[in-house]
Amino acid sequence: MQLYNTLSAKEREALIEQAGLDRLTISFYKYAHIGNPQIFRNHLFIHWNDLDVLGRIYVANEGINAQLSVPATNFNAFKAHLDSISFLEGVRLNIAIEQDNKSFLKLKIKVRHKILADGLNDNTFDVTDKGVHVGAEQFNQLIEDPETVLVDMRNHYESEIGHFKNAVTPDVDTFRDSLDIIEEQLSEHKEDKNLVMYCTGGIRCEKASAYYKHKGFKRVFQLEGGIIEYTRQVREKKLENKFIGKNFVFDHRRAERISDEVIAQCHQCGKPCDTHVNCANEACHLLFIQCEECAAKMNNCCSDACKEIHELPWEEQKRLRKGKVASNKIFKKGRSEVLKFKKQSNTTVNQSQE
């Protein structure tokens, strides 16, 4: 039995269109102790492939992290399978605010060292000893408390297009970078401040809350279900929405709009814009913010150099790339000297007023 994806993205896209079925984009995670991640991975693939699940799933000894889509007609069967797994029974599922039938086009389930790269090598750190989970209503109350420091645990390119007002938004490229920055800058407030964190779906905050408790912080809270669940609760309960802009997501959509405000700018001309794209030059593929006017002018590229390459015949582009390291694995997302209007976030505990 083949326990891997056998169809190309284009083939899968055509099948989705032919089926004409609505799909649900879902994310979930769970920290748990998994003895044999490879066997668990194969078990998931066998069952989920039969249910036409597509997505990106990571499995490790510390748990599972999943972003996926499933036909709406198969949702109950998918949920029943999750509930049949002891540590996933009743797991919270974050269902996307905005649906897209093509958010994922392949089923990729990979075994990793960790489900969330943190660069930590501390055997005394217990990721299951987490902070207090709070829902949207309590979160809104907490972040109005003058004794609260609100921290965005996402990376710079995520918080640039949307964040909570007055949040600390570290200008970092990785989750690991933010752990040290926050600990250092809040070291004098381990006992007298509420440390409240949020991220996209909760997984980074959960590990961060356990880490900061491990480091001696006494009042640690995290937004349950992240921005995705917060938005759902705000709309369902008619609460005040304190998030401005877009929520960056890691699938084909790239973002969900949470509020009407546009707080970012085109990285090429400076015009208000919060649309992330990838450079059309396959040898670059840099993630950056580009408005419609610049997209037309630059042929969807990040620079004149990339534009020139992208306009070459496809075989010539392939020839130029041959034997070279894929630069899209080197570029840091949203960072390049060619991006004249890249906005720098704040790396201190001074809070964003946007």
Are the C-beta atoms of 29 and 201 separated by less than 8 Å? yes
The structure tokens listed for 308 are: 């020139």
Q: List, in sequence order, the alpha helices (H) in the chain.
A: 9-19, 37-50, 75-83, 136-142, 156-159, 175-185, 203-214, 226-237, 292-297, 304-310, 314-321
- The closest of 234, 232, 235, 261 to 246, measured between CA atoms, is 261
**Dihedral of alpha carbons 86, 61, 131, 228, sign:** negative
- Distance from C-alpha of 271 to C-alpha of 7, rounded to nearest angstrom: 40
- Distance from C-alpha of 44 to C-alpha of 88, rounded to nearest angstrom: 12
Are the C-beta atoms of 227 and 258 separated by less than 8 Å? yes
Tell me the HSE value of 198 on the side-chain side, using a 13 A CA sphere: 31
Q: Return all residues near 242 (Cβ < 8 A) that are at least 6 apart.
A: 140, 143, 164, 165
Reported as type and span, the H/E element at residue 277 is strand 276-278
Q: Where in the sequence numbering do the catalytic residues fall?
A: 199
- Distance from C-alpha of 204 to C-alpha of 154, rounded to nearest angstrom: 8
- Distance from C-alpha of 53 to C-alpha of 107, rounded to nearest angstrom: 7
- Distance from C-alpha of 352 to C-alpha of 187, rounded to nearest angstrom: 20
Using CB atoms within 10 Å of the CB of residue 48, give its burial: 0 to 12 exposed, 13 to 18 middle, 19+ buried.
buried
- Distance from C-alpha of 114 to C-alpha of 134, rounded to nearest angstrom: 25
> What is the chain's percent helix, strand, coil content, to nearest 5?
30, 20, 50
